Chain A
Amino acid sequence: MTTYSTTLSVNGIPYSLAFDASRNLLSVIRNEVGLTGTKEGCDDCECGACMVLLDGHPVNSCSYLAAQATGKEITTVEGLSSGDELHPIQRQLLDAGGVQCGFCTPGMIMSTDALLRRTPEPTDEDIRIGLSGNLCRCTGYAKIMEAVKATAVELSGS
């Protein structure tokens, strides 16, 4: 057991933390930082429920050492909306009916955010591939597809 002391920046706020060097980022975000919007579905990089952004890149936080996130900006679902205003992805998912049980939703939102930053005007195939690391058991993905396309249109203004 080696305790590692560092400062992690989560949603723009610095946190001074000390944790065992073997800890994954997901457990530190949920337990030390105290943000539980990021979910654990498999601890094996298979479901995508734990997706967060590191400097804008999507990462399965269950399989990423927390210590490695030092110096990077970590964004979780709690950091996406500003004030009471929902982010367009969040609003479009609700309008389209792309949320059912909601457990995959935070990870799906973070992957979508990364996808749309990378590819502002995605094709259907871009969306299918870009979100294929996020499992959803409820929706059949159709309403999520609808929401992502609507978000892309809204954000790109086209």
Chain B
Amino acid sequence: MTTLEDQASAPPRFVRADGPAKVTGSGRYVADLSLTGMLFAKFRYSGVAHARIRKIDVTAAKAIPGVFAVLTAGDVPDVRYSPVIPDRTLFAKDVVRFEGEILAAVAANSPAVAQAAVDAIVFEYDELPIVADLEAAMADDSPLVHEDWASYAVTGDTPRDRNVATFSSLSKGDVDAGMAEAHTIVKSRYVADGSHAAPIEPRGVLAQWEGDKVTIWTSSQVPFDARNGVCETLQLPSNRVRIIVPHLGGGFGGKCGFHFEAHIAALARATKRPVKLVFSREEEFLVPDRRRESMIIDLTTGLRADGSIVARRGWIAVENGAYTADAAFFAQLAAMHVAGPYKIDNVHIDSHLVYTNHQPSGSVRAPTAPQGCWACESHTDELAAAIGMDPVEFRKKNGIHTGATGVVGQVYDEIGLQQCIDAAVEQIDHAAALGEDEAIGLAVGWWPSFPGPSGAYVRLDSDGAGQIVTGAQECGTGAVMTLRQLAADQLGMDPEDFEIIYQDTAVAPYDTGATGSQTLLNNGRAVVDAAEQIAEQLRQHAADHMEAAVADIVLADGHAHVAGSPSKNVSIAELAEIAGGGELLIGKGSGKPPDYPEIPGMNCVGDQGVAAWAAPQFSCHAVKVRLDRDTGVVRVLDVACAHDSGTIINPIAAYGQVEGGVLMGIGQALTEGTHYGEDGKQRNGGLLEYKLQTFADAPRITTKFIQIPTADAGPRGAKGLAEAPNVPTAAAISNAIAKLVGRPVRQLPMTAERVWNALQEETP
């Protein structure tokens, strides 16, 4: 194990390939693109949380000069879609289930005319009772969000009941027996509001048909998923749909999944014109089926007299919202975070994904984890306090370590959770002494890596210039930019020798996209494989050229040389020129994804495949906060982070992921929460009302990487990193606040008002 700072030769810092385009303003995002004859799209939304449709009349809208098309449900194939639980349609049919549901799509020759047409659409409806409260939604007498829930063509092990879209349990050992054995039992309830990904770029889509093929430029994190959604809903073969993502202005999970590409493709086909959609900030808040889910978490934990955890029981409700985007696995994933990275023999957690008449939930940066970790880790501090143990000591004692068995029976290979705790404590102790109304809190977190299929081509042209053609998607993390380094290292070249062709489904092999922190893990392996094929060709050419044995050829510093005789060499550019006259230098990589581990002794009902964690990542964040007791305002002063994400390949990108994740975590801890009115509509769908952290709010952040080259992971033992830093920050802040307030603030975000209210509670 080494920390990054310890390494004798730290990996190089290099400027990202897309950087010059981004700093000069020459880089194009979807909203920056225009095509000749282009029309402008706008959607008509339901504007009501739950209603039966009586009439949608588009006659007047179609009659407005400059309006080229108005489409509704009858104008597209009748397809219900979504992974696992296909419960969505492109346009509302019969019933609308949240305020942002699309009734109709308009294409017109200006945005103003499109808006006039949207306003001219007549929508008549009968209101239905609004399902908003998670527990009430689970009652037998609750109105149903989907009356036809039982008829949907659900796949997998997916138990369902009325408003419970999926049920999952984790169960191991005997919880009743464990509780009977307990010296101390602590029971807690935690309630988290929903929140938003809030990328700074509102999404855009531009579609153009040529003959029977459509090209769609879209701000998607997952171009192949977007393509598959278009193919499914418009019933097209995949080779007639080309998805191109120009530069992407952030996603944070909010731009995962398939969104509005099919609506715009349908408009472009109907009008025989290119059509462009660009969302307003309000639409970005209200409409996408991707926001972070609200949750209710009940936890009961039994402790032995020595402070070890003997049993844990949990009950979770996770908000699905009106439709299932990709949230079918959220119930089980939430249970993993509420169970936590601890050694517990007896565990039982029941977890429910619950329909409401709110915006649908979907994968936002580490879905369910910040909330689940916040509950688990706030509860952990309550446990330590209940038996008078130091919270750090408690975590060191109960936290998993190399060779330990975790909550689901998985036995962990070399992992760095314990070292993360030590490193975070060491860093925060270096921060200045505590002032008045200041406290330190700490939390641990974990997150899986997601092995999956992924492909790339690498080629060297006859001038020695390299190209990486990859299906991977860059959403800002720098993961795709790091591929240059992997290819260069494999070939003894410089990262600057490579350009990257990416984000185009027509030219590159499949990749899952910027989701699940998987780019480096999966596409990294693909690029290394592809580059290695070229390396073999180069070594053969070099051996022929220098009359040496292939096994003796070394590729380094842009040359091939004979081992032990660096002066006997030939440049790779020269070899590329030789190859350019014969068998070309082309490599293709994919490779078998790492296997998932076994979880013996685990009984999962509703297993969605997220209990056994490949290459799990671990983290510990320690924070120092200051409380204003008059107002309840909490300010985060210092955050000390330690992460085990395996080998760190691109340090500059890695630090950036942690620092960005921490700021998002602070927002989620203190200010970012969606408010709903009694009408089921969002009350703070704007950046003035929904507060992101600003430059002035940013604390000092220090980061240490516990680098364990991990077996069965990505290249050189790298694991994922983009989501992990978003997991434990809110929990650590909660524990610091609890020290100052005298009790946990049991609602997330822990707003000034909620903190102030907690301060007014009588100490029992």
Contact = CB atoms under 8 A, between A and B. Distances in A.
Contacts of B200: 39, 41, 47, 49, 101, 103-104, 135-137
Interface residues of B, number: 55
Contacts of B688: 44, 46
Given A39-B29, A42-B281, A137 B23 contact: no
A3 to B, nearest CB: 14
A99 to B, nearest CB: 5
Contacts of A30: 32
Contacts of B22: 99, 102, 105
B452 interface: no
A106 B201 CA distance: 13
Nearest to B702: A142
Contacts of A36: 25, 28, 31-32
Contacts of A139: 656, 659-660, 663
A56 interface: no
Given A36-B32, A97-B656, A106 B695 contact: no
A17 B484 CA distance: 44
A43 B281 contact: yes
A106 B25 contact: yes
Contacts of B687: 42, 44, 46-47, 135
Nearest to B687: A46
Nearest to B700: A142
A81 interface: yes
Contacts of B19: 94, 99, 102
Interface string B73-103: 0000000000000000000000000000000
Interface string B406-435: 000000000000000000000000000000
Interface string B235-262: 0000000000001111110000000000
A143 B655 contact: yes
B407 to A, nearest CB: 31
Contact of B694 (A43, A80, A135): A135
B591 interface: no
B23 A138 contact: no
Query: Most A CB atoms within 10 A — which of B21, B22, B281?
Result: B22
Contact of A94 (B23, B31, B280, B653): B23
Interface string B683-704: 0001110001011101001000
B652 interface: yes
A45 B27 CA distance: 23
A136 to B, nearest CB: 7
B551 interface: no
B25 A38 contact: yes
Interface in A58-95: 76-78, 80-81, 86, 90-91, 93-95
B31 A101 contact: no
B36 interface: no
B686 A140 contact: no
Question: Main SS of chain A's interface residues?
Answer: loop
B694 A132 contact: yes
A137 B686 contact: no
A101 B250 contact: yes
B249 A101 contact: yes
Interface string B1-31: 0000000000001011011111111111101
A127 interface: yes
B66 interface: no
B202 A78 contact: no
A132 B478 CA distance: 24
Nearest to A100: B476
A142 B202 CA distance: 24
Contacts of B731: none
A46 B686 CA distance: 9
A137 B16 contact: no
Given A101-B248, A137-B198, A42 B686 contact: yes
Contact of A86 (B20, B247, B694): B20
Nearest to B690: A46
B437 to A, nearest CB: 21
A86 to B, nearest CB: 7
Contact of B660 (A37, A47, A91, A138): A138
Contacts of B698: 128, 140-142, 145
A134 interface: yes
Nearest to B725: A140
A33 B489 CA distance: 44
Contact of B249 (A44, A103, A128, A132): A103
Contacts of A47: 200, 281, 687
Contacts of B686: 42, 44, 46
A39 B23 CA distance: 12
Query: Most B CB atoms within 10 A — which of A76, A95, A136?
Result: A136
A47 B688 CA distance: 9
A129 B697 CA distance: 9
Contacts of A90: 23-24
Interface string B22-62: 11111111011000000000000000000000000000000
A76 B24 CA distance: 10
Interface in B507-562: none
8 contacts: A36-B25, A77-B23, A78-B24, A86-B24, A97-B478, A100-B478, A135-B200, A137-B250
Interface of A: 30, 35-44, 46-47, 49, 76-78, 80-81, 86, 90-91, 93-95, 97, 99-106, 109, 127-129, 131-145
